[in-house]
Amino acid sequence: MAKVDVFREIFSLSCAFVMEEDGFTWSFSRVYGPVDDDVRGGLWEELSGVKERWSLHWCVAGDFNVVRFLAERSSEGAWTRAMMHFSDFIDGHQLIDLPLEGASFTWSSGREIPTLSRLDRFLISGDWEEKFPDIVQAVLTRVTSDHIPLVLDCGGLRSRCTPFRFESMWLRVDNFQGLVRSWWEENLVVGTSSFILAGKLHILKNNLKRWNKEVFGSLEWRKNRALADIAEIDRLEGECVLSESQHSRRAACQAECVEIAVLEEISWLLTTEEEVRSGIVSFYQKLYSEPLRWRPRLDDLHFDSISTLERDGLENPFSEEEVLKALKSC
């Protein structure tokens, strides 16, 4: 990674970077917002200047010293103009305020009955989420600071966006709907209704991906493991009397193979349907498109044409005599 430009202001420090391995360019702005509401407008002006300076994937992070919503602080209070200006800045620049996983607040006063607020956050541009579809904002362990450190886990660089795909075979897993319901209810997101919905869906997507990788697992790997266990027990059966646990294990492996076969069939049917749909779309695209760019020209050819008077006559309304003549000829 190489730094290509720097932009220093009073409340922010911004840098533009390029990834040497693939040429991906992006910008990062580290902010420390003023405590005084009267001068906080300078921070929004600085960051707006960064956006105008670089048209890149943009990430903004730091201590903004202001919350967006009433639920982002433990003490009671009212909406302030500073909170509305913060949201206006985010919406105006089409930034994404990612849900915070692992905590509701990022700052503590440290008192016996502390005052808690969410002053720190990462904001990203929409194209950043397209580049890193698995991006997550989470908390780390706080040791001595009154602020909880945050981490932006991008989940690896993608050359292109891989859309999330819900697998129908997941519905065949016992208590899958209960698992999804528990994830949905335990994810705490505060803000407007649309922000809460988008945030909870984002977290749910990551939960499903993690569950599919760590718990549900690869069907091919599970099938091979079950078949290997069955083969090993069958081999032992030819040498000695099997124990009750070995009989149970073989029965369980056989049942798992049947279950996997059903799931594979569901997955195969879905894949086949998508292939058929893709084939139909491709057929009509080729049917109604013209790959050849060259067309014959008729500039040097002469054709018989009607006169101007005859052309104008084609546009005249039919006369009564013409109508009668046409009827008698039928």
pLDDT at 264 over 70: no
Q: Which residue has the higher pLDDT, 92 or 196?
A: 92
Contact at 8 Å (CB) between 82 and 69? no
Residues 149 and 169 in one domain: no
Mean pLDDT of 274-287: 69
What is the residue range of 34's domain?
2-158
Q: For residue 120, with 0-12 CB atoms within 10 Å meaning exposed, 13-18 middle and 19 or more buried, which class applies?
A: buried
Per-chain mean pLDDT for the chain: 80
Mean pLDDT of 115-123: 92
Residues 13 and 116 in one domain: yes
Residues 86 and 229 in one domain: no
Mean pLDDT of 49-69: 90
pLDDT at 57 over 60: yes
Q: For residue 171, with 0-12 CB atoms within 10 Å meaning exposed, 13-18 middle and 19 or more buried, which class applies?
A: exposed
Q: Per the domain annotation, does 175 fall within a domain?
A: yes
Residues of the chain with pLDDT > 90, as a percent, come to: 16
Element (H, E) at 152: strand 150-153
Grade residue 32 by pLDDT with cuts at 50, 70 and 90.
very high
Residues 27 and 86 in one domain: yes
- Please count the residues of the chain: 330
pLDDT at 144 over 60: yes
Q: Per the domain annotation, does 8 fall within a domain?
A: yes
Residues 91 and 149 in one domain: yes
Q: Per the domain annotation, does 226 fall within a domain?
A: yes
Which range, 14-28, 173-187, 212-226, 315-329, is most confident?
14-28
Residues 133 and 212 in one domain: no
CA distances from 28 to 6, 7, 25, 317 (A): 10, 10, 10, 72
Residues 259 and 178 in one domain: no
Contact at 8 Å (CB) between 25 and 17? yes
Mean pLDDT of 236-246: 76
Q: Per the domain annotation, does 299 fall within a domain?
A: no
Give the per-residue pLDDT at 157: 42
d(CA 231, CA 175) in angstroms, rounded, equals 30
d(CA 43, CA 32) in angstroms, rounded, equals 9
d(CA 147, CA 38) in angstroms, rounded, equals 24
Amino acid making up residue 51: K
Residues 133 and 148 in one domain: yes
Q: Per the domain annotation, does 139 fall within a domain?
A: yes
Give the per-residue pLDDT at 159: 42
Rounded to 10 degrees, the C-alpha dihedral 203/209/214/217 comes to 150
Domain boundary among 198, 217, 236: 217
Give the per-residue pLDDT at 294: 55
d(CA 301, CA 101) in angstroms, rounded, equals 74
Q: Name every residue whose Cβ is closer than 8 Å to that of residue 146 and which is 6 or more positions away in sequence.
A: 107, 108, 109, 110
Residues 41 and 143 in one domain: yes
Residues 71 and 9 in one domain: yes
Grade residue 156 by pLDDT with cuts at 50, 70 and 90.
low
Residues 102 and 173 in one domain: no
pLDDT tens digits along 20-31: 777 888 999 999
- Total structural domains in the chain? 3
Q: Per the domain annotation, does 291 fall within a domain?
A: no
Residue 243 carries which DSSP code? Answer: P
Grade residue 34 by pLDDT with cuts at 50, 70 and 90.
very high
Grade residue 223 by pLDDT with cuts at 50, 70 and 90.
confident
Contact at 8 Å (CB) between 30 and 48? no
d(CA 116, CA 33) in angstroms, rounded, equals 17
Domain boundary among 280, 299, 324: 280
Q: Per the domain annotation, does 296 fall within a domain?
A: no
- We report the CATH number of the domain holding residue 54 as 3.60.10.10
Residues 10 and 113 in one domain: yes
Contact at 8 Å (CB) between 42 and 29? no
Residues of the chain with pLDDT > 70, as a percent, come to: 81
Side-chain half-sphere exposure of 229, counting CA atoms within 13 A: 18
Mean pLDDT of 170-175: 75
Q: Name which of 103, 127, 131, 129 is nearest 117 in CA terms.
A: 103
Contact at 8 Å (CB) between 147 and 107? yes
Q: Per the domain annotation, does 317 fall within a domain?
A: no
